[in-house]
Structure 1
Amino acid sequence: MKRPIPSRRAVMRAALGAVPAAFLPLATAPLAAAGSGVSGSTGTARRGSGFAVPEPALSRPFGRVAHGVCDPAVSQTCDGAASQGPIEALKGAYPMSVPGLGIPLGGVGAGSFMINQSGTFGPWNFGGGQNGDRWQNRILPQAAFHFRERVGNKSAVVRTLAAPGPRNSGSLGPVADRSWGDPLPAWTLLKPGEGTYNALYPFGWIDYTAFETDVSLRFYSPIVAGEDRRTSLPVAYFDVRLTNRSTAVADVSVMFTMPNAPGNVGGTPATVRKGLASRVRTNRTTGVTGVTLGSDDPSNTADAHKSEWTIAARPAKGQKITYTTSWNGDGDGSDVYKPFRDSGALGNARLDDSATAGAIAVQARLEPGGSTLIPFVLTWDFPQIAYADNKTVWMRRYTNFYGARTTDRTNASAGGYNAYIPGSYPFHQSFAIADDALDDREKNLRAVHSWWDAIAGNSAYPKELRTAALNQLNQVAFKMPLWEGGLVSSAVAPTHGTRPGSHTPGTHLYWSPDSAAGGNNGMGSDVGSYGYMAYSYLFPSIERDRLRAVAESVMLDPYGNPGDPDVNNPWITLAEGTAPTPDNQEFIDRPAKRLYRMYAHARFHGDWDFLESVYPAMKRMMAFLQALVRSDEHLPRTRPTPEGAMLPAMPNTYNSIPALGRDVYDSGLYLLALAVMVKAGRRLGEDKATVTAWQQAFDRARTEFEDVFWDDANQWYRYTEYPKGSAVHLDTFYAQHVAERLGLPDLVDPRRYRAQLTRHYARFTADRDAEGNLLGARTMALPDGVTQWPALSSILGVAEPRQEIAVFTGTNYFAGATYLAAGARFHDAALRRHGIEMASAVSHQVWCVDENGFAFDTPEAYGTSNAAIYSYPAYERALAVWDTLDAIDSLATVLPSAHR
């Protein structure tokens, strides 16, 4: 918390005055340059734009939402067909891509919502059992900004700064998942195309063109690399800049309307949020006035317990603020629109007694050529998140900075470390959060720019990759609604008798399922490992605490290889591991990924105490992996897929590509794990005999790797022990690339490594879209003249090599980084060029092809013949784009302040 709770309350008691009936003149710091509101901004302001919008920002015509792709080969829910339930996932397009999504607002773990390309508030993800960790496709029709101008003697013009929502339909009927509603019917909306929507996370900008006044809106949350407090806050800033380009005086006013809304709607169990109330407060010291909309009833469910919203503004000299604490949010909106339309002001009184919605308005007079900036903020205090039919309740991370405390010593009755201490959080903190946010606005904005400018404005990174890297970060806040600030209670017994995260003080768990669409490894140790660089550099405490919990889970599990946390009750219930023997385990990449990430975190941050704390778990995972090696071999064996099987065994993250015996991907990770253990063991003073045994195992396994996988005729490492034929995998060198990044010995023969990369790039990248753009690199390739795969799984009797020939977005980013790093190592400009081309190709398909609908909903993979055939939006693997950036220009150099 910025100030201790007791003194904060004393300040509030002194500062909270009577309800203001008129504008209070307040001194504020002079506004900085029009481009940013702070110095050091990236980009330049355009004519008609009040803010500097950097070149890599995604840009779309405001309110014109594409229809979205819908190929006959995939699920026809995109054409209006009824959902076929779980079978949708097997058809590759569930949930479907959604055009028109935008920047999410809200801190990590605080709950969040998007400002979509129609300018409305939605979709939503406040998480927990009520929405199953899949965002809810809804908007708040009552939430909007409204603008009124009266230029000279002309009549006043009033518009709501939003456009009608898309009404998507196919030949079979309406497509609800690609549609959202409009703001309230009594409001006069903008037309699609009357503005430009720009996005580069965490910032969004909308420039409106329907007025004589230049009107621009900037919105963002204070996501600050390397810092928990601001990054976790439930804060959405809205800065409105107004410039009078006419030769007459302009009277202007901006109104912000907001309903007293629940965070979750339509889920099971249903959210109960009763006892609505509203009030206005002004802190005369800071000059902040806010309307708070709350809910407090004993029958409320945990996700709504003592919850509230605050809309607030801090008027500057020459600005006047008015408000209403209640209008009918269930009506058509005419009651709050009329006074604003008539005068640009609100009456400083209730319009009804429902407390269902509130509003604030700020007025100003602009001389010709004059400009003003009006800072608004929306904050919320939904302090709890619940799972397992409300049987497990957590505090959110931001509450720790506003009073919530956790146990700091082992105490069985308190559930070990990191249990919430009852009564420590005062609740009803949304105004305090809003007051702090506006008081610290410029400082917070500078803190965001301190790391963001280094990426957004770094010309060493291609523009397309800056677009992808920054916008891809949106999912850390939007897709991951649980970053906990202490366990409140759980009526569900932990799987192992004690919950992960309760053994080390100061641990705050973060729930990161691969995607609610498929896969739920919330430990981040499957596809999430491709984004380890993003977490390591930007959210290091999340990475550390997640790895702490993984280490605890490993030590609790009978076999040292815990399965997925339960999506219905994460970090309380987990799948138990099974006894490791060769040929009987699936996903054998996970232990090695967990292990190397522990070493990587320690190395990147110089946190060798952390390494020592997780080292017992690392040894246990190494033993698990070694148990997968046959006595007469030196590499692990995964569970094979029998020929003609209806469903494949899942050897690793490429779960439907058959692995027969040993495979190059898992074997490379096994070598990486051994190399890490040798390095970590030597640093931590491990017994010499143990380190020697690991080193010998590494040497033998590396020799066997070359013998088993190198295909001299094709000059590549074959993917697996095919009984006939050969095929090569794009991600062959995942482990080798990580080893290079961690300063470990080569896992493969460097000459062969370079030969495969150099000779076979064109084999992976032959596919183009209808405009001739590279679609990206496919996952696997065959020898010249060969069309039959040497091994192919059969899913539900349909032989279709989807994963073999699909373009995996995150794999392209990671493989692109591999090419870039190898190019630097071997002084090979062609390899570096190929790495950038591969990564830029998928960035183009995701962020530049509007009709795909992939922006802010990046798919796991799409087809090489047609990007409309895609699978699993919102997977974490695409965060690998940060590894691509690191391979171009080291993040340790670019982001030194964030990397500590």
Structure 2
Amino acid sequence: MVFNASFWEAGLVSSSVTPAPGGPRLGSELPGTHLFYLIDAGSGGASANEMDVDSFGYVCYTKLFPNLELGRLRAWLQLTKQDRWGRVPQQIEANTGPYISATAANQGAPSATSEPVFGAPPPNTDDLGALFDPAGGDAFRDCFHKLIYRVYALYKETGDKSLVTYGYAPMLRTLKHSQFFRPPGSRLPADPPSNNPPNTYDQLLVNGHGIYNCQLYLLSLQILSKLTPTAIALGVPEATPAVREQIDTELAAAKAEFERIFWNPKTGRYRYCDGTGGIDGRTGDIFGAKKPVLPPDAVFLDSFYAQCVASQLGLPDLIDLRRARTHWHNTLDAFLAPKDADGKPTGPPIILDENLNPYPMNYIQSPGRFVPEIADVWPGTTWMATAAAVHIGRRTRDRELIAKALKMSEAVANRIYDDGATTKGHAFATPESWFVENVNISRYAAYARARSIWQLVDALDPILRRPRPSKPGRTRRP
């Protein structure tokens, strides 16, 4: 973590600098809170404390450094509490003197200054416009749910009741904010019908409901259902039996809709999206490159991110694991197929087209214009996806699935650590990604997403915290 320019704020409580966006210093509402701060890419080029990216490695913080996780989550909860709508922005930046303040994604404005909108795509054009087009409202809609599961995970690990007494109300509030984006007649939030990044995969456009965010929404409902009785017992006023009943009703309906719109029995796969956003055939100009709106039956490597977290936290399944098992058996060979010029596996592409083929580097571009993300291998995503497959394989008693899925992570690890000249120094600075077609082109060295390796470690051999030593004269049971 120190490679990523991290520091620990050790008790700064007063200054002549006015905190932004105008509220109390983040973390100050609970005494003894200290803020952990991290740059997402040690080599630069990426922002700081990004909830969407950093959450891939939440197990590392929760189980190995819970004190760091506690301080940071308290700050995020206070931020969400102070926000006008309960929004969870993508990142927290140190851009106002010594204080940690909030911005809404990369838009440069405090998160509470712009009202969320349920917008429509720009009319009469095939182009969705520039990055962060305002039509469609909030970007990075995965952040709502990642805050919720991180708070619950730390509470489950440490038993710190302040995470419920202080955190339940902001968690419920941000869940309700995410529900604002449910289209009429739907129990699942849709992704932005514009060029706004839908989630951490900010250059992969989503047409309508996307599997990544919708599954995270199921996870949030499941967590709030589980946590509400505890909050009631602790006297949290926002927690009531009526709230629990509403959440349970919503969860049952949302899970049924999820299976109905994402499972395709003809292909035996879960869809990437449902194609209901009204942006078919359009493109988005992101950082100077035209990005396509992907078809519903594209195959997404990280389709089961939220299910993986649910398994790690001992929660009920969010999806049909028999279908998830079938999905993996119908796609793993394609994810493992790409090889480099020497015949060595490149690692799995982040996404495949409807025919299970990788997208080319210059997809819808002229030669020499590369399209990052859509044609990449992502180590951090690979380890997370493999962890999900391990959990699914264990629950369905499918050893063959586990063994085959591990080959995805083996291919990535070999390229980082063991492939000689091709590693380009990756062993001490795992990059965000490299191209499937040219593994020698990579981006964002020392990127935080790769900390998801701890998800895979925990899936294979659960990480147990060391018990506290017994007091003198007392015998601790083994």
The 1-side partners of 2:219 and 2:94 are apart by: 30
1:730 aligns with one of 276, 283, 301: 301
Match status 1:766 vs 2:337: yes
Quick one: distance in 1 between partners of 2:400 and 2:70?
Answer: 37
Counterpart pick for 1:877 among 449, 458, 475: 449
Q: For 1:839 and 1:801, how far apart are their aligned partners in 2?
A: 23
Hey, what's the Cα distance between the residues in 2 that align with 1:735 and 1:783?
23
Matched, 1:813 2:352: no
Structure 2 contact 56–380 (Cα < 8 Å) conserved: yes
1:555 Cα deviation from its structure 2 partner = 0.7
**Equivalents in 2 of 1:796, 1:682: separation in Å?**
57
1:660 counterpart (197, 207, 210): 207
1:793/1:783 CA distance change after superposition, 3 Å = closer
Distance in 1, Cα, partners of 2:101 & 2:67: 23
Match of 1:864 among 436, 454, 462: 436
Deviation at 1:609, TM superposition (A): 3.6
- Correspondent of 2:410 among 818, 840, 845: 840
TM-score under structure 2 normalisation?
0.81
Structure 2 CA distance for partners of 1:899 and 1:802, relative to 1, 3 Å: farther
Take 1:618 and 1:795, find their aligned partners in 2: how far apart are those partners?
A: 42
Match of 1:510 among 25, 29, 36: 36
Shift of 1:785: 7.6
Q: State the match for 2:101 in structure 1.
A: 573
Shift of 1:744: 1.6
**What amino acid is aligned across from residue 457 of structure 2 in structure 1?**
L
Partner of 2:37: helix, strand, or coil? Answer: coil
Distance apart, 1:481 and its partner CA: 3.1
Deviation at 1:567, TM superposition (A): 4.4
Structure 1 segments of 4+ aligned residues over 6 angstroms from their partners: 785-789, 792-799
Q: Within 2, Cα distance between the matches of 1:498 and 1:795?
A: 47
Equivalent residues of 1:494, 1:573 under 8 A apart: yes
Provide the secondary structure at the position in 1 that maps to 2:100.
coil
The alignment partner of 1:487 has SS state of coil
Question: 1 CA distance for matches of 2:84 and 2:30?
Answer: 20
Quote the Cα distance in structure 1 between the aligned partners of 2:164 and 2:356. Answer: 50
> Which protein is bigger by CA-based radius of gyration?
1
* Structure 1 residues 357-411: Cα deviation after superposition (integer angstroms, max 9, x where no partner): xxxxxxxxxxxxxxxxxxxxxxxxxxxxxxxxxxxxxxxxxxxxxxxxxxxxxxx
CA 1:691–1:519 in 2, change beyond 3 Å: closer, same or farther? farther
Residue identity in the other structure for 2:355: D
Distance in 2, matches of 1:797 and 1:630, equals: 39
State yes or no: 1:549 paired with 2:75: yes
2:191 pairs with 1:638: yes
Shift of 1:527: 0.9
Conserved 8 A contact 2:272-2:296: no
Matched residue, 2:3: 478
Q: Alpha-carbon deviation of 1:788? A: 7.9
Contact 2:299 2:352 in 1 (8 A): yes
**Structure 1 stretches lacking a partner, 5+ long:** 1-475, 642-647
Matching residue within 176, 186, 191 for 1:623 = 176
The answer for the alignment partner of 2:139 in structure 1 is: 586
TM-aligned CA distance change 1:859 to 1:785, over 3 Å = closer
Q: Distance in 2 between matches of 1:836 and 1:788?
A: 23
TM-score, normalised relative to structure 1? 0.44
Distance 1:650 1:688, change over 3 A: same
SS of residue paired to 2:374: helix
Q: Return the alpha-carbon distance in structure 1 between the equivalents of residues 189 and 391 of structure 2.
A: 27
The amino acid of 1:891's aligned partner reads I
Cα shift readout 1:294-328 (whole Å, capped 9, x = no counterpart): xxxxxxxxxxxxxxxxxxxxxxxxxxxxxxxxxxx
Q: How many residues in Structure 1 have an aligned counterpart in Structure 2?
A: 414
1:538 matched to 2:64? The reply is yes
Q: CA deviation at 1:716?
A: 1.1
- Give the share of equivalent positions with the same residue, in percent: 32
Given that 1:657 and 1:793 are in contact with CA atoms closer than 8 Å, whether structure 2 keeps it comes out as: no
Query: Greater helix share, 1 or 2?
Result: 2
Amino acid at match of 1:653: T
Aligned residue number for residue 784 of structure 1: 355
User: What is the rounded CA distance, in whole Å, between the counterparts of 1:613 and 1:836 in structure 2?
Assistant: 40
Q: Which amino acid aligns with 1:879?
A: R
Match status 1:752 vs 2:323: yes
Q: How far is 1:533 from its partner?
A: 0.6
Q: Work out whether residues 321 and 392 of structure 2, in 8 Å CA contact, stay in contact via their aligned partners in 1.
A: no
- Greater relative CO, 1 or 2 (CA 8 Å, sep 6+): 2
* Letter of the 1:658 counterpart: L
User: In structure 1, what residue type is equivalent to 2:307?
Assistant: Q
Aligned to 2:292: none
Partner amino acid for 2:79?
Answer: S
- Matched letter for residue 86 of structure 2: G
1:743 is aligned, of 297, 307, 314, to: 314
Distance 1:631 1:834, change over 3 A: same
Q: Secondary structure at the match of 1:566?
A: strand
SS at match of 1:772: coil
Q: Report the Cα distance in structure 2 between the residues aligned to 1:800 and 1:680, rounded to whole angstroms.
A: 46
Q: RMSD of the alignment, in Å?
A: 2.6
The match for 1:559 among 85, 88, 97 is 85
Distance 1:490 1:773, change over 3 A: farther
Q: Which moved more, 1:552-561 or 1:476-485?
A: 476-485
CA–CA distance in structure 1, aligned partners of residues 55 and 469 of structure 2:
18
Deviation at 1:515, TM superposition (A): 2.4
For residue 593 of structure 1, report the CA deviation from its aligned partner: 0.2
Measured against aligned partners, the alpha-carbon deviations of 1:628-685 in whole angstroms (never above 9, x if no partner) come to 11232111122123xxxxxx42110000001111100000001111111100112222
1:793/1:532 Cα in 2 relative to 1: closer, same or farther (>3 Å)? farther
Structure 1: distance between partners of 2:460 and 2:371: 33
Displacement, 1:740?
1.3
